């Protein structure tokens, strides 16, 4: 799987335990109330799709986790243990539940550090790995597109946290609470200047006159794994690509729109702000290219 130092390589013996959850390598589902992830959202997480018994884009997730830990000064994660625990979780589901598709969530917090914002000089991070069942997602969002809306909440700008997947997702939580219409699949989040940054759970792409545009995430937002793969595939296909500020009004006059994340892959947007959008040939091409990459990730 993957390449380089983050390749997924561990293969457990059949006799090893197969739990659904590890906390610091132990089979348990509790944390100290003093954990700073609970108290302050002081940590990071990764959501990794598992298909065919293999985690997709493992090396990319681990590289982003490493960057996030460095930026938050959490120290170097134990990638060997993350590799081992993830394989045990997947193996457990395959042998006990006959399940080879799901989601592995990895959480790294700064650990316990007493009351107050001042972080311990030498933290002892908490490492959590857990397996979650695959959500029931119909084919229609990918085939026919989804309806999206603009959220009222505006994202704050903080370059020190931009791009990484930190635990404090209150903006996303509040934005997602703005609607309960089941026909609306996603809400778009703008920054204080009115530029679209991302969805509550996804990254955002715009197609205009043959050029693919995606928001600049240097001030806020999460740099998604599938976003990076789609950008690579666009360039490989000779599709012009720019990371720029995209105001909401420009998004509603685009030729095509789509969303990405590790679970949904690519979802075209068929309706936004009362306007309907066609699913472009470029979007379909990128959907096919992404699926090819995902199959390649699962190849021996």
pLDDT per position as a tens digit, 31-56: 999 999 999 999 999 999 999 999 99
Confidence of residue 19 (pLDDT cuts 50, 70, 90): low
Name the DSSP class of 195: B
What is the structure's pLDDT at 16? 47
The yes-or-no verdict on residue 12 having pLDDT over 70 is no
What's the burial of 169, exposed, middle or buried (CB within 10 Å: 0-12/13-18/19+)? middle
What is the structure's pLDDT at 295? 86
Distance CA 132, CA 134 (A): 7
Q: Averaged over 283-297, what is the pLDDT?
A: 93
What is the structure's pLDDT at 300? 39
Residue 289's Cβ-side half-sphere holds a number of Cα atoms within 13 Å equal to 20
What digits encode the pLDDT tens for the residues 179-224? 999 999 999 999 999 999 999 999 999 999 999 999 999 999 999 9
What is the structure's pLDDT at 15? 43
- Asked if 108 and 52 touch (Cβ cutoff 8 Å), the reply is no
Nearest to 139 by CA among 36, 265, 259, 245: 265
Task: Look at 277 and 297; give whichever has higher pLDDT.
Answer: 277
The yes-or-no verdict on residue 293 having pLDDT over 90 is yes
| Whole-angstrom Cα Rg for the chain | 20
User: 73: which 2 tokens?
Assistant: 């000064």
What digits encode the pLDDT tens for the residues 108-162? 999 998 788 999 888 899 999 999 999 999 999 999 999 999 999 999 999 999 9
Q: Left, alpha or beta for 200 (phi > 0: left; psi -120 to 50: alpha)?
A: alpha
User: 265: which 2 tokens?
Assistant: 């892959």
Residue 221 CB partners (closer than 8 Å, separation 6+): 155, 162, 163, 189, 197, 198, 203, 215
- Asked if 156 and 171 touch (Cβ cutoff 8 Å), the reply is yes
The yes-or-no verdict on residue 168 having pLDDT over 60 is yes
Distance CA 120, CA 272 (A): 46
What's the burial of 94, exposed, middle or buried (CB within 10 Å: 0-12/13-18/19+)? middle
Q: Averaged over 242-255, what is the pLDDT?
A: 97
Sorted by where each starts, the structural domains of the chain and their CATH numbers stand as 4-133 (3.30.470.10), 140-295 (3.20.10.10)
Q: Averaged over 253-276, what is the pLDDT?
A: 97
Residue 133: beta bridge partners?
102
What is the structure's pLDDT at 94? 87
User: 242: which 2 tokens?
Assistant: 């720019």
Q: Left, alpha or beta for 265 (phi > 0: left; psi -120 to 50: alpha)?
A: left
What is the structure's pLDDT at 6? 67
pTM summary value: 0.91
Sign of CA dihedral 244, 255, 270, 272: positive
């Amino acid at each position: 799987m993957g390449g380089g130092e983050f390749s997924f390589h561990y293969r457990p013996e059949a006799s090893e335990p197969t739990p659904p959850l590890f906390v610091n390598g132990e089979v348990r589902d509790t944390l100290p109330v003093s954990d700073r992830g609970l108290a302050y959202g002081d940590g990071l997480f990764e959501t990794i799709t598992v298909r065919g018994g293999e985690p997709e884009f493992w090396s990319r997730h681990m590289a982003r986790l490493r960057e996030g830990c460095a930026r938050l000064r959490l120290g170097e994660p134990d990638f060997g243990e993350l590799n081992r625990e993830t394989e045990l979780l997947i193996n457990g589901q395959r042998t006990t539940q006959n399940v080879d598709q799901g989601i592995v969530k990895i959480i790294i917090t700064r650990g316990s550090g007493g009351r107050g914002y001042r972080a311990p000089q030498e933290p002892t991070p908490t490492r959590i790995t857990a397996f979650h069942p695959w959500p029931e997602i119909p084919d229609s969002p990918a085939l026919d597109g989804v309806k999206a809306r603009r959220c009222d909440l505006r994202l704050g700008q903080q370059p020190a946290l931009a791009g990484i997947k930190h635990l404090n997702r209150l903006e996303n939580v509040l934005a997602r609470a703005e609607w309960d219409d089941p026909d609306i699949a996603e809400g778009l989040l703008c920054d204080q200047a009115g530029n679209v940054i991302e969805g509550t759970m996804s990254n955002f792409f715009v197609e205009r006159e043959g050029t693919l545009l995606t928001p600049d995430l240097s001030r806020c937002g999460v740099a998604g794994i599938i976003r990076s793969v789609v950008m690579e595939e666009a360039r490989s296909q000779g599709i012009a690509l720019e990371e720029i500020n995209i105001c909401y009004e420009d998004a509603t006059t685009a030729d095509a729109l789509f969303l990405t994340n590790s679970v949904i892959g690519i979802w075209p947007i068929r309706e936004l702000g009362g306007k309907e959008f066609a699913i472009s040939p470029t979007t379909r091409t990128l959907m096919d290219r992404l699926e090819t990459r995902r199959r390649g990730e699962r190849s021996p």
